[in-house]
Amino acid sequence: MSTLLRAVRQQSGLTLDDLAEETGLTKSYLSKVERGQSNPSIAAALRIARALGVDVAQLFNDDPSATRICIERAPVGAAERHHPIAAAMLGKTMVPFLVRPGRQFTTHPHASHQGQELIFVHRGSVELSYDGDVIALGTGDSAYLDASRPHKLRQTSSETPEVVVVTHDGPRAPGR
């Protein structure tokens, strides 16, 4: 856990002081965990993972590349509407998805959220409803938007479109 914890903390832009404040654990204890001089209890590991925004199981990953690169191969015959990309990557500052919009604008609980969003149409065509405007996007088109405004996609082509959506909620603020 020590190597991954330090890497994820640093990629999240947190100092040991920030992490201590968010977890309620002492800076010296967290430093010992990062240096491999102490093993956290399950409760402490859960607090650390929550503060870093990762699954606690990911912090115990033995793969040192988990904070540097995540390769995913295209699934054969996958038809899910929202597929997270790089779900196993630790310390991400962006949240990428492959989205296959349906034919109707649907109400979604995350139709607006903090931060920014990049939408890139990889295949097919869609309409983007953004803050009351409807914008047609085809293969190769993209939109970069303030995600705090209401937005959603719908399919307009006969083939199922594939859209890469990348969200980013900005720099991580201590106490968040």
| 154: β partners | 127
Rounded distance between C-alpha atoms, residue 26 and residue 41, angstroms = 14
Please give the backbone phi and psi of residue 27, each rounded to the nearest 5 degrees, phi first. -60, -40
- The predicted-structure confidence for 41-74, as pLDDT tens digits, reads as follows 888 888 998 898 877 777 776 666 666 777 777 7
Instruction: Name the nearest CA neighbour of 175 among 33, 44, 56, 17.
Output: 17
Continuous segment of H or E residues that includes residue 20: helix 16-23
Our CA dihedral for 109, 113, 116, 118, rounded to 10 degrees, sits at: 0
pLDDT for 107 equals: 60
pLDDT for 125 equals: 97
Average pLDDT for 11-34:
92
Domain boundaries, the chain: 2-67, 82-168
Residue with tokens 């690169």: 69
2-67 belongs to CATH 1.10.260.40: yes
Same fold for the domain at 2-67 and the one at 82-168?
no
Cβ atoms of residues 143 and 137 within 8 Å: yes
Rounded distance between C-alpha atoms, residue 49 and residue 47, angstroms = 6
Fold of 82-168: Jelly Rolls (2.60.120)
Rounded distance between C-alpha atoms, residue 167 and residue 146, angstroms = 10
- The predicted-structure confidence for 155-175, as pLDDT tens digits, reads as follows 999 999 999 999 887 654 444
